[in-house]
């Protein structure tokens, strides 16, 4: 799965300056636009908002889905203590290689978010403190959306948190409305943040806790 957008590491959140990793991001979009929900990486401001659910102390396990070239990755790395564990699950093998070169301290997994439970089990991870997603939910059908959400629920359990985002302009889309409803059906707490206007396009985050099942 790829991010919506599949985040790239950026410098400032002004789109007047081309963010680091943008050429690789664009190449990924050209290879498979159906997996990449945008042609521009997430801004640092949006990335920082998503990364806030990552615990900043102790030895947490944080998982990213669809990290792309690493905007959120960089923000999470800044928050985590040295004892923390940081996994990034990326479907595109070239993007996974790029992420490894940019963030050698992150465990980059070239794999499918729909198999998250198995990927974690292979690495002896039984629980996750936070899952952060940049996947293009509005491009997925109902079945794929639910498959991934089920994997997230299995990972975070009763105590972890889940964060993802969506573009403001996609809200009227049937798939976006369906995803929002699925979040409310899946989690007891679903908080929508304010819109991050300094992102292209503007976006907002969903912060979710306490799975219902």
Q: Is 64 helix (H, G, I), strand (E, B) or coil?
A: strand
Asked whether residue 97 is assigned to any structural domain, the reply reads yes
DSSP element (H, E) containing 163: strand 161-167
Q: Which two tokens stand for residue 26?
A: 């664009």
When pLDDT is averaged across residues 48-62 and rounded to a whole number, the result is 96
Structure-token pair, residue 120? 């974690």
* Model pLDDT, residue 136: 87
Q: Backbone dihedral region of 25: left (phi > 0), alpha (psi from -120 to 50 degrees) or beta?
A: alpha
pLDDT at residue 56, as a whole number: 93
> In this structure, are residues 213 and 186 in contact, taking their beta carbons and an 8 Å threshold?
yes
- Averaged pLDDT score across all residues of the chain: 85
Q: Which range of residues forms the domain containing residue 72?
A: 22-211
For residue 3, give the nearest of 42, 61, 32 by alpha carbon: 42
pLDDT tens per residue, range 142-153 = 999 999 999 999
Query: Of 89, 57, 75, nearest to 155 (Cα)?
Result: 89
Q: Where are the alpha helices (H) located in 68-213, listed in sequence order?
A: 71-79, 93-102, 116-122, 142-156, 174-186
User: Does residue 7 lie in a domain region?
Assistant: no
pLDDT at 42 (0 to 100)? 78
- pLDDT-based confidence at residue 107 (cuts at 50, 70, 90): very high
CATH of the domain at 145: 3.40.50.150
> Is 17 within a domain?
no
Instruction: Report if residue 64 sits inside a domain.
Output: yes
Mean pLDDT value across residues 72-90? 95
**For the segment 1-17, what is each residue's pLDDT rounded down to a tens digit?**
333 333 333 333 333 33
pLDDT digits (tens, 9 = 90+) for 161-211: 999 999 998 888 898 899 999 999 999 999 999 999 999 889 999 999 999
Instruction: Give the Cα separation of 37 and 165 in Å (integer).
Output: 11
Assigned domain for 174 exists: yes
HSE-CB at 56 with a 13 A cutoff on CA atoms is: 6
Q: Evaluate whether residue 4 is within a structural domain.
A: no
User: Sign of the CA dihedral 61, 119, 185, 196?
Assistant: positive
Global pTM reads 0.83
Query: Which is more confident, 44 or 23?
Result: 44
For residues 148 and 180, the answer to whether their CB atoms sit within 8 Å is no
Scan for tokens 């409310």, then name that residue.
184
The confidence band for 138, taking pLDDT boundaries of 50, 70 and 90, is: confident
* Total structural domains within the chain: 1
| 73 occurs within a structural domain | yes
Q: Residue 153: inside a domain, yes or no?
A: yes
Contact 90, 61 (CB under 8 A): no
């Amino acid at each position: 799965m790829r991010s919506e957008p599949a985040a790239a590491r950026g410098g400032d959140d002004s789109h007047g300056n081309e963010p680091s990793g943008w050429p690789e991001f664009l190449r990924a979009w050209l290879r498979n636009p159906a997996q990449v929900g945008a042609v521009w990486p997430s801004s640092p401001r949006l990335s920082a908002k998503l990364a806030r659910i990552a615990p900043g102390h102790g030895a947490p396990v944080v998982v990213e889905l669809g990290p792309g070239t690493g905007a959120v990755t960089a923000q999470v790395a800044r928050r985590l203590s040295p004892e923390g564990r940081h996994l990034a699950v990326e479907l595109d093998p070239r993007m996974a290689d790029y992420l490894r070169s940019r963030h050698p301290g992150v465990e980059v997994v070239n794999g499918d978010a729909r198999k998250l439970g198995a990927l974690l089990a292979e690495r002896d991870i039984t629980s996750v403190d936070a899952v952060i997603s940049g996947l293009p939910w509005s491009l997925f059908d109902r079945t794929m959306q639910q498959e991934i959400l089920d994997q997230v629920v299995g990972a975070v359990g009763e105590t972890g948190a889940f964060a993802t985002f969506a573009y403001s302009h996609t809200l009227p889309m049937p798939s976006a409305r369906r995803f929002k409803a699925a979040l409310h059906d899946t989690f007891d707490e679903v908080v929508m943040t304010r819109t991050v206007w300094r992102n292209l396009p503007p976006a907002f985050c969903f912060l979710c806790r306490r799975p219902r099942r």
